[in-house]
Chain A
């Protein structure tokens, strides 16, 4: 997918911590059971305010498909690769299981999948995307927190959202140039 730059824009104010994304992802990508194994997750921010006026936000997250991905720089065998459209993925058979990418990723986006014998992580559901479908987490989210698309296309919904609302990325100081954008 040339000339594309795929990204997800998240409106976290809509997130109700239902974890449908995590479940859909696990099912779609055959992520094994076990506490270490997941490709995406929902972090709970601290409670705000005092009883009875309380508020809480949630931050769903996953691999950030960094434009400057440390995981790919450190991988000794090029098992971690970046597609022209920005999708960062792992070539299973090249992965030697050194877990260097796991120590290099500032987002803890990776885990070792014993079943496939390689490090695994979110691929934006590349297998679906290349068939013209949406990533499973995006499709399943009941409150439409997540919008997926090409930020190189000015008419895409992600581009329109980013133009309209201010946004932030996680850990910008790491210089990884993440492509998950959180509306603020």
Chain B
């Protein structure tokens, strides 16, 4: 660790930033432990799920996406996609763990969960399945990583295949956690399980473009042609995923407006023109989808740098996409005569402590990854 810091001023800056982020997160955690959820979180009776849940979704989607895209390489045999397998799986493990950490801070009794999920399981609960499937997925990812590190291709293939199936099941089930709630028309229906899988591909592609780019930037060498070609392919693929995502977003909106379905309409309007409108139009649409797709479709900007920028912007956009989805579903009051509505809607904005924990979780994830990058032999074997 010390050696890393001595040699590279840029890594010194990077580690200090992450260090500050982690301290901020730790302060948030201590604050909750001392004062209790009710005093430091802004979630309420009416809006019980806030930014910690959406960040959890963001992190585990990233994990799923990394797993899906990397399986294009060592499971589906697309050779171009093989070289970053170890890194992608490692980061998939870390994003998943940090996601678990984030949701553990939202649950009031994470430890009880471990006990009663086993001795008193409710199979009709999508949250029970969420815990079980993600647990299984984590085990498979670890197995896959182990085999990749040992260079055991057959084992890596088997684990990768199983991991792929677990990733799809776990992640579509995460969509179902929301999609099965008939009380929440904005979420209800089969749309979310499907949409979650697709948007995982966008997340995965985006993060992999960052991984590959920064890995090479940091090595200080010129980017080999092979990587350049890979970034080009990834860029095209990412453009395709983004266009499908845009299609999904449009078809999320239309049924929310057409015929003004009760509650779904109000939630959709909250996203389009209400309290979430800036997040939606600026972060989700412009930053997350339109600029990246423009960068990626244009051959002149589809350079490694351009693909990296597109990935960075989409990653930001997707963070807001998760937040808006989670919050919008709860903005419509379940009670007609409810008090203190703002413009007919309930209100939520994350508290400082909630934001601190989010910053901490993401910093921790990046910190562990960068550390592993320095300590583990992740360099691909040359074929």
Residues of A at the B interface (CB closer than 8 Å) are 34, 36-37, 41, 43-45, 59, 61, 70, 73-79, 93-100, 102-108, 110-112, 114, 117-118, 174-175
Contacts and interface: CB of A to CB of B under 8 A. Distances in A.
Given A93-B112, A97-B109, A99-B48, A106 B183 contact: yes
B184 interface: yes
A94 B95 CA distance: 28
A33 B221 CA distance: 63
A43 B36 contact: no
A112 B108 contact: yes
B337 interface: yes
B125 A74 contact: yes
8 contacts: A43-B336, A73-B124, A78-B116, A97-B108, A99-B43, A107-B334, A108-B46, A108-B333
Contacts of A93: 112
A76 B338 contact: no
A37 B45 CA distance: 8
A95 B112 contact: yes
Report, as a range, how many residues of chain B touch the other chain: 35 or more
Contacts of B183: 70, 103-106, 174
A76 B115 CA distance: 12
B145 to A, nearest CB: 28
B113 A76 contact: yes
Interface string B22-49: 0000000000000011100001111011
A17 to B, nearest CB: 11
Interface in B156-183: 177, 180-183
A112 B125 contact: no
Contact of A34 (B38, B43, B120): B38
B49 to A, nearest CB: 6
A141 to B, nearest CB: 18
A79 B116 contact: yes
A77 B334 contact: no
Given A94-B120, A107-B335, A112 B38 contact: yes
A46 B184 CA distance: 24
B237 to A, nearest CB: 35
Interface stretch (B6-14, B126-134, B136-144, B223-231): B126-134
B122 to A, nearest CB: 5
B182 A106 contact: yes
B344 interface: no
A100 to B, nearest CB: 5
A113 to B, nearest CB: 9
A106 to B, nearest CB: 4
B337 A97 contact: no
A175 B182 contact: yes
